[in-house]
């Protein structure tokens, strides 16, 4: 069985966002959704259901972003102290 980075897709209230994707990326999302659906024992998962979890995973594992975010929060917190 393939080890995919995404796990089950939670059923959460979405926020509508419109994006333009290159055709090749869309084809890759379709293929990924098929593999993920097979792993979960269900049908293919639509590309629009994959984008949010993929972006969340990307942001959660981006060490540079985490460091910058912590630095920003520390700086903003320091400004609020009287």
- Can you tell me the distance from the alpha carbon of 18 to that of 26, in angstroms, rounded to the nearest whole number? 14
CB-count exposure of residue 44 (10 Å: 0-12, 13-18, 19+) = middle
DSSP sequence for 17-66: ------HHHHHHHHHHHHHHHHHTTSSPPPHHHHHHHHHHHHHHT-HHHH
- Can you tell me the distance from the alpha carbon of 56 to that of 62, in angstroms, rounded to the nearest whole number? 10
Per-residue pLDDT at 2 exceeds 70: no
- pLDDT tens digits for 5-58? 777 877 778 788 899 999 999 999 999 999 999 999 999 999 999 999 999 999
């Amino acid at each position: 069985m393939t080890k995919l980075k995404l796990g089950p897709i939670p059923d959460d209230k979405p926020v509508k966002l419109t994006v333009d994707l290159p055709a090749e990326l869309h084809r890759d999302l379709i293929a990924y959704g098929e593999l993920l659906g097979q792993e979960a024992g269900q049908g293919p998962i639509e590309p629009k259901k994959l984008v949010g979890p993929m972006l969340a995973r990307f942001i959660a594992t981006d060490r540079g972003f985490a460091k910058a975010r912590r630095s920003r929060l520390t700086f903003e917190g320091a400004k609020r102290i009287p």
